[in-house]
Structure 1
Amino acid sequence: MTLALLFPGQGAQSTGFLHKLPQHDAVRATLDEASAALGFDVLTLDSDEALRSTVAVQIGLTVAGVAVARALAHEDLVPQFSAGLSVGAYAAAVSCEALAFGDALHMVRKRAELMENAWPSGYGLTAVAGLSETQVETLAHASARECGEQVYVANVNAPRQIVVAGADAALEAFAARALAAGARKAQRLAVAVPSHCELLAEAAESLAEWSRDIPFRTPRGVYVDNRGGRPLYNADAIHADLATNMRYTVRWYDAHTVMIESGASVLVEAPPGQVLTDIAREQYPEVAALASSGLPLERLVAIVRRRLGEDT
């Protein structure tokens, strides 16, 4: 089987995204399980007001990803590869059975609380298109020398799709410098914390300590990590990736590449949005990339089955 499931990270959320999940028994059961585990109705997490909270966003994304993964599994579409960008890695770990859903929810809530408390305001992420990682790093160092505040490479989503993290003023100064250097776009993302950089080192250490007794298992299929963009095959390695990925650059392009080079031919992105699908289509046009949020579940299942059948 050559199916890969991809799970988006913070910034993909949109108002009402949990209410737009497929009408499927597995989805309803997942929503009920999440609500019971957390002690509140998770369908309250996708309002405009709720989505101002990093905690609400990260829990909601995890619930949405697991719900759709379970709906696909119910239709006998079980992925060979599971990978998630940033907090999406938690849904990926549940998808490949390395982590129980309830444990993932509690760990995600703690992760988001630590991130939010570390830098409660004045920080975030900016996406830069059209410059390489080396160019971005060079501009970041120059910008830091000029304004005194560092920005960090947070995500390498594609060779010329880079996300940087830092304080608001530093991001604004960097964006101006990047556009002057030829970037096509420098756009702030809907993320209120400086993810995937050393500013979250202490928070990552706290999460690793807090989660040390959470049980992890050997994955079914292949789990592809964030930090190195490589397959992980044992429980301890997956635990370490999830506990610490907030402080390290997300090597999403490397993760994409290793899945495709290992045989993934159909990529399905869990809701919400289609950011990961668009990256895959641009970088690997020969691979079938599908955003589940843009298709009725029945049609998605039919397309995936047909694509997989063509590959066998």
Structure 2
Amino acid sequence: MTSFAFTFPGQGSQAVGMGKELAETYPEARAVFAEVDEALGQKLSTVMFEGPEDNLRLTENAQPALMAVSVALARVLETRGVRLAEHAAYVAGHSLGEYSALCAAGTFSLIDAARLLKTRGQAMQKAVPVGHGAMAALLGLDLATAREVAAEAGQGEVCEVANDNAPGQIVVSGATAAVERAVELAKGKGAKRALLLPVSAPFHCSLMQPAAESMAAALAEVEMHAPVVPVVSNVLATPISEPAEIRQRLVEQVTGVVRWTESVTWLTKEGGVTNLVELGTGKVLTGLAKRINPDVSAIAIGTPADIDAFVAQVLS
């Protein structure tokens, strides 16, 4: 028996041109992009389709842009007969992708999701002055060793594991000097590579506490419904459906670890999922899924050709 979970990518997957072919092909996608533009009071779709890249990469633009493409894909699939409520057992999203997952599953309206992510992006950027925070990928270390590196690198400053993306792919986040120390220490502890990431703020660490407080206030104002299928929470790596708990976990997520390895492991073991389907720009989560569980089927859907092939597969 085939069991699907839909996954939704996070920041870093954005690229100039994202969503353009969808908008040209599907009225449902055009409607999503127009609604997001109106909700935000800016022509985000123009930045998505045409750039400039620097503008798209801004956290406050990248986050709602990635959500818009993911939700557009979900809406197109629905009109083609592949409905989340009927065809997915679970949804999960990487960091901001959790909002995309929840919007696609009916927890948030599209307008609220766009505005929440704009707020989230701005709050995360404001939480730490530019240059004072950094993130680094530690490749080839296990989670326990990465935690040791972070603790040793701290020296009184914040340095914490932020993302457990896949076996051998851990990201640390914190004060710039501490993260730079972690890069050097990781090399001495057997990392294949350790490198600073091109990000504008130290996401998913305790330095983001001011942003967590901003999100608590923003989420308190938004109407939320139970998702049509459970969402596997980033901070728990287990499924939840209760709106009050979703709200709480989204606040915790701002400073908490993205437990992606454990989330995918839960989906494919306890959750019985056999097919992971990434809806959005790029194929990052599909690559991670194959590293986490080589036995699972993982595909990415981002183009009209991908949609046609997937609809034919599911509805055949």
What is the TM-score of this pair, normalised by structure 2? 0.90
SS at match of 2:69: helix
- Quote how far apart the aligned CAs of 1:308 are: 7.9
Measured in 1, the distance between the counterparts of 2:195 and 2:203 equals 16
Q: Check if 1:306 corresponds to 2:316.
A: no
- Across the aligned residues of Structure 1 and Structure 2, the Cα RMSD in angstroms comes to 2.0
Asked if the contact 1:45–1:57 (Cα under 8 Å) also holds between the matched residues in 2, the reply is: no
- Count of residue pairs brought into register by the alignment: 305
Q: Check if 1:80 corresponds to 2:86.
A: no
Q: Check if 1:252 corresponds to 2:260.
A: yes
Q: Check if 1:32 corresponds to 2:31.
A: no
Measured in 2, the distance between the counterparts of 1:305 and 1:241 equals 36
Deviations 1:110-149 (A, max 9, x none): 111111111131123212111111101111222223xx53
SS at match of 1:187: strand
Measured in 2, the distance between the counterparts of 1:170 and 1:177 equals 10
- Quote how far apart the aligned CAs of 1:298 are: 3.6
Deviations 1:214-269 (A, max 9, x none): 11111101211110111002111112222331111111111112221212222111
Structure 2 alignment gaps of length 5 or more: none
Identity of aligned residues (%): 33
Asked if the contact 2:94–2:234 (Cα under 8 Å) also holds between the matched residues in 1, the reply is: yes
| 1:140-155 superposed matches below 5 A | 140-145=150-155, 148-155=156-163
Aligned with residue 169 of structure 2, among 161, 174, 184: 161
Structure 2 residue aligned with 1:126: 136
Aligned with residue 104 of structure 1, among 101, 108, 113: 113
Structure 2 residue aligned with 1:54: 59
| 1:204-223 superposed matches below 5 A | 204-223=212-231
SS at match of 2:265: helix
Structure 1 letter corresponding to 2:246: I
Structure 1 alignment gaps of length 5 or more: none
Structure 1 residue aligned with 2:145: 135
| 1:231-270 superposed matches below 5 A | 231-261=239-269, 262-270=271-279
Structure 1 residue aligned with 2:195: 187
- Quote how far apart the aligned CAs of 1:189 are: 2.7
SS at match of 1:219: coil
Deviations 1:95-120 (A, max 9, x none): 11111111111111111111111113
What is the TM-score of this pair, normalised by structure 1? 0.91
Asked if the contact 2:265–2:292 (Cα under 8 Å) also holds between the matched residues in 1, the reply is: no
Change (3 A) 1:121 1:299: closer
- Quote how far apart the aligned CAs of 1:76 are: 2.0
SS at match of 1:45: helix
Structure 2 letter corresponding to 1:116: Q
Change (3 A) 1:300 1:282: farther
SS at match of 1:107: helix
| 1:264-283 superposed matches below 5 A | 264-283=273-292
Deviations 1:278-299 (A, max 9, x none): 0111222222111223xx4344
Change (3 A) 1:63 1:299: closer
Asked if the contact 1:10–1:190 (Cα under 8 Å) also holds between the matched residues in 2, the reply is: no
Structure 2 letter corresponding to 1:8: P
Measured in 2, the distance between the counterparts of 1:272 and 1:189 equals 19
Structure 2 letter corresponding to 1:176: E
